[in-house]
Amino acid sequence: MNNQGRPTSPTALNAVAPHTVSGSKALDQAVKLIFEVGDLETTGIDLPEPKGGKSRLGANARQGTIGLPGLSEPETMRHYVRLSQKNYAIDLGVYPLGSCTMKHNPRLNEKVARMPGFADVHPLQPISTVQGALELMSELSHWLMTLCNMPAVALTPKAGAHGELCGMMAIRARLDADGQTQRRRVLVPESAHGTNPATAVQCGFTVDEIPASGDGRVNLDALKEKIASDPDTVAGIMLTNPNTCGLFERDIIEIADLIHAAGGYFYCDGANFNALVGRVRPGDLGVDAMHINLHKTFSTPHGGGGPGSGPTVLSDALKDYAPVPYVVETKEGYDLVEAVDSDSFGRMCAFHGQMGMYTRALTYMMSHGSDGLRQATEDAVLNANYVQASLSDVMTPAFGGVCMHEALFDDRFLKDTGVETLDFAKAMIDEGYHPMTMYFPLVVHGAMLIEPTESESKQELDRFIGSMRHLAEKAKAGETEMFKQAPVYAPMRRLDETQAARKPVLRWSEPEDGKLAAE
C-alpha cells in the first residue's frame, strides 16, 4: 500500500493504556488454547483416504473419540508463533541464569543435527549402515576425554541428572564388586544442587551433608570429621566444581585424596565445567566420575527445558562399570557393545543416548577448537568478574575475592527496603532482562546468582550493569511499590503459584456449557 502523503506525526497524548476488545496489545497477541479454537474435524495435514481393509487390531480396536482438536496449517503456524512471542530467549537478550549457562546457540549446530546420516537413522539399523553416526560418537568421546583428561566416557545419559545417576551407579557397582557393600554414605555439601542428594538416594545411598565454610567452600575440617566418624561407610563425595557459589574449591585435590584414602570415590558435578574447559582438566583434580551437560557447556539449546545430554567421564577405577551401549573401534570399523557384559552396571535408556545433542556439541567444539574453547572459558570468567566488580558498590557480593563463571550476590543490600530478591528479579523483567537464578544456592540468604556467559559483549554487559545499578538504587531509595508491582511490561503480571499448587488444574477440560467441536 502506498501511504505517501499520509505520514504519521506523533502527537503528545496523556497515554492511558486502552482496554482492547481482542485482548491483544499490539504485537502481544491474545492466544486461546488449541482446545478452545480447534475442533475434531479440522486437520492441517493432507493424508490419503484409507482403503478400509480388514482390521487386525482384534477386540481392542478403539471405540469412540480421543478428544484431540486440530487446526489448519496457517492457524497452527499463527497459534505457535503468537505463543513463542510470549517467551524470553537468549536470542532476545541477556539471560543470566546462574548455573544454567545460557550461552549463544549457533545455528550451524542445528543444521548439522538435521543431516540425514544423523537425524534420519534408526538406532537398531545394522551396524554396517551407521558407521558415520558411530564415528561421530567416537570423535565426541575423544574430545570430551581429552578436555577432561579422563580415560573413558559414557555417552548415554540423557541429561545432567541422568549423568549423575550414571556416575553414582558406576561407583556403587565398583563398591559392590569389591565387596564394599557397607559403603552407602555419600557426602554432599549443603550448597549442592538438589539433584545431587536426590540422585544419591535414587542409587540407594544415604546423604550426609557437609557444611560450608565462611568463604563459600567446603569446610575441610567438617569433611575430615564426617569421614573420620565412620570411614568404612563412606561411598564417596558429590562435589560441584566450581561450586554453586561460583567459586573454585581450592582444596579440591586434598578433598579427593581424603576421599580416596577413606576408600570412597569422587563424583564431580560438571554443571559448571564451562568455567574450566581448556584451562583445568578434572582428571588432574582426582575426579572419578563427572557428567558434562552438553546443553550448558557445549551449547546444545535448552529448548524450554530439554532435551539435555549428560555424558559422564569415568576414571580407570570406574570405567569397566560403564553402562551399555558404548562404541568400540575394531579392524572392520566401529561397533556398538549393546549386551550387558560382566562388569557394566547395565543399561540406562532404550538406545544410544542423545545423538541429536552429540552432533550439536561436537560441531560447537570443532568450531571453537582448543584455542576457542579456552578463550570462551576465559571470557565467561572475565564477564562474571566484570559484573561482580561493577556492582559490588551497590549490591552485596556474597563472598569476597574473584569468582569463576558466575557472580553470587546476597540480599543484604536490600535490608530494610521491603524489597525482596523475588521483587528485584521481577523488576529486572521490566528492564528487559531475564532474571538471574534466585534463592539458589541455599547457603546464601536471598541469593542472586548471575552467569553472563562468554556470549555477552561488553556493551551489552554495561547496559545490564546500568539496569542493575538503577534497580539497586531505586530499592534503597524506598521505591518499594514499583518492585512489588513488577513486572508490568511482561505479557503477564505476577502469577498465583499458590493457587496453582493448591487446586492443580493440569489439563484442559470441557467447560460445562460448551463442548469441543460443538459446531
Partner 1 sequence: MRYLPLTDSDRAQMLDVVGVSSIDDLFQDVPKSARLSDLVDLPKHQSEQAVERHMGKLSAKSVSAGSVPFFCGAGAYRHHIPATVDHLIQRSEFLTAYTPYQPEVSQGTLMTLFEFQSQVAALTGMDVANASMYDGSTACAEAVVMAKRVTRKTKAVLAPGLHPHYAAATQTLASTLNIQINERDCRPGRDDHMIDHIDDDTACVVVQSPNVFGEIIDLRPIAEKAHAHKALLIAVFTEPVALAAITPPGEQGADIVVGEGQGIGVGLNFGGPHVGLFACTQKLVRQMPGRVCGETVDANGERGFVLTLSTREQHIRREKATSNICTNSGLCALAFTIHMTLLGEAGITRLAALNHEAACDLADRLSAIDGVELVNDTFFNEFTLKLSKPAAEVVDALAEKNILGGVPLTRIQPDGDAHLLLVCATETNHTDDFAAFETALKEVLS
Residues 341-360 that bind partner 1 (CB under 8 A): 345-357, 359
Q: Measured between alpha carbons, how far is 412 from 240 in angstroms, rounded to an integer?
A: 25
Give, as ranges, the residues between 95 and 114 that touch partner 1 (CB under 8 A).
Answer: 95, 97, 100, 102, 104-106, 108, 110-112, 114
Return the SS3 of 453: coil
Which grid cell sits at 463?
Answer: 547496559
User: Quick one: which H or E segment has residue 337?
Assistant: strand 333-337
Chosen residue from 320, 379, 467, 479 binding partner 1 by CB under 8 A:
379
Give, as ranges, the residues between 148 and 167 that touch partner 1 (CB under 8 A).
Answer: 158-162, 164-165
Q: Taking contact as CB under 8 A, which single stretch among the options 49-57, 221-229, 313-321, 473-481 is the one that binds partner 1?
A: 49-57
Give, as ranges, the residues between 492 and 511 that touch partner 1 (CB under 8 A).
Answer: 492-497, 499-501, 504-508
Return the SS3 of 6: coil
Q: Measured between alpha carbons, how far is 179 from 134 in angstroms, rounded to an integer?
A: 35
Is 332 a binding residue for partner 1 by CB under 8 A? The answer is no
Residue 25: CB partners within 8 Å, gap ≥ 6? 17
Chosen residue from 38, 189, 236, 270 binding partner 1 by CB under 8 A:
38
Is 43 a binding residue for partner 1 by CB under 8 A? The answer is yes
Is 279 a binding residue for partner 1 by CB under 8 A? The answer is yes
Is 292 a binding residue for partner 1 by CB under 8 A? The answer is no
Residue pair 168/174 in contact by the 8 Å Cβ criterion: no
For partner 1 (CB under 8 A), the number of binding residues is 205
Give, as ranges, the residues between 2 and 21 that touch partner 1 (CB under 8 A).
Answer: none
Return the SS3 of 318: coil
Give, as ranges, the residues between 64 and 93 that touch partner 1 (CB under 8 A).
Answer: 65-71, 73, 76-77, 79-81, 83-92
For residue 402, the tally of other CB atoms under 10 A from its CB is 14
Strands in 152-154's sheet, in edge-to-edge order, are 152-154, 312-314, 289-291, 265-269, 234-240, 185-189, 206-210
Chosen residue from 41, 332, 513, 519 binding partner 1 by CB under 8 A:
41
For partner 1, the closer of residues 56 and 515 by Cβ is: 56
Q: How far is the CB of 453 from partner 1 (least distance, A)?
A: 10
Is 375 a binding residue for partner 1 by CB under 8 A? The answer is yes
Q: What is the CA radius of gyration of the chain?
A: 27
Q: How far is the CB of 373 from partner 1 (least distance, A)?
A: 8
Give, as ranges, the residues between 233 and 272 that touch partner 1 (CB under 8 A).
Answer: 247-250, 252-253
Residue pair 383/452 in contact by the 8 Å Cβ criterion: yes
Residue pair 267/171 in contact by the 8 Å Cβ criterion: yes
Which grid cell sits at 180?
Answer: 564394599
